[in-house]
């Protein structure tokens, strides 16, 4: 039985499907829900010299990801599920794994959309695949087509 579930939410179609699956599992197991959104670090690269930090870009991105998180929390609340939300910053796999370990999660739920071309799969990589390798607990991947 799952006691603590971490749901990684990005507002995408696959994220929506994962959120729906999360609600069903949480209801079945009466688990405590943690909804997280991960904002990537925003650095502008300027060549060999390195990267530049832009606080305006970060603030705009923070607002965007906080909105995504708030949307997911509202959806859970509308269906009678209480969840705690947290905005994480950094690499998605690293931050989700770290947060799951911190809250002693039994399950992480993420959404995944199959990419059509091999080039897209190679270039983008897969958070869900990498998360399976790094997670401190079980991972449920909700697939959308």
Q: Please state whether the predicted TM-score (pTM) of the whole model is above 0.85.
A: no
Residue 34: pLDDT band (50, 70, 90) is: very high
Q: What is the per-residue pLDDT across 73-115, written as a single tens digit (0 to 9) for each?
A: 988 888 888 889 999 999 989 999 999 999 999 999 888 766 5
Q: How far is CA 132 from CA 22, 38, 102, 128, in A?
A: 17, 17, 17, 6
Q: Please report, for the chain, the start and end positions of each structural domain, with discontinuous segments joined by +.
A: 4-144
Q: What is the pLDDT of residues 52-71, one digit of tens each?
A: 666 787 888 899 989 989 98
CATH: 3.40.50.620, 3.40.190.10, 3.40.50.720, 3.80.30.20. Which one for 4-144? 3.40.50.620
């Amino acid at each position: 039985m799952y006691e603590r579930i971490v749901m990684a939410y990005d507002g995408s179609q696959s994220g929506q499907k994962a959120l729906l699956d999360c609600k069903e599992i949480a209801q079945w197991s009466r688990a405590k829900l943690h909804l997280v959104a991960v904002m990537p670090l925003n650095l502008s690269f300027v060549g060999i010299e390195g990267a530049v930090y832009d606080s305006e870009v970060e603030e705009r991105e923070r607002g965007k990801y906080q909105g995504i998180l708030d949307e997911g929390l509202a959806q859970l609340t509308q269906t009678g599920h209480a969840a705690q939300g947290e905005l994480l910053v950094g690499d998605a796999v690293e931050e989700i794994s770290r947060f799951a370990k911190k809250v002693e999660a039994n399950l992480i739920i993420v959404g995944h959309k199959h990419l059509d071309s091999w080039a897209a799969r190679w270039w983008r990589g897969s958070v869900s695949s990498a998360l399976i390798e790094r997670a401190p607990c079980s991972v449920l991947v909700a697939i959308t087509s």
